[in-house]
Amino acid sequence: MEEREKGQRGRLVVVVEVFEAAPEVAVVEFCKISGDTLKFAKLCEDDVRLRLKDIMWTWKGDDYHANLTSDDCIFARVGDE
């Protein structure tokens, strides 16, 4: 995913990978490659997490948004209950 508008710290570029852990269970990894760390945290919290809330089991990323760096990633485990 890449932001259309270039911000003050450059364009926000996020790589999303989906790993199938078992049938109907996946781990989704969101990694910020470049751009503003606060925009990345906001994207994950306000957009991604909100849209996955009905199928998401766990979200690794709570309590460390303030410590995100360019190589930090956020993980979500999703699947049918």
Q: Region 12-31: what's the mean pLDDT?
A: 87
Q: Where are the domains of the chain?
A: 13-79
Q: Which long-range contacts (CB under 8 A, 24 or more apart) does 63-67 make?
A: 65/41
pTM exceeds 0.75 = no
Rounded distance between C-alpha atoms, residue 74 and residue 24, angstroms: 20
Taking only the tens place, the pLDDT of each residue in 3-12 is 566 656 678 8
Return the pLDDT at 50: 83
Torsion of CA 26, 71, 41, 12, to 10 degrees: -100
Taking only the tens place, the pLDDT of each residue in 45-69 is 888 888 877 787 776 655 544 445 5
Sheet with 73-79: list strands edge to edge.
13-22, 25-34, 73-79, 56-60
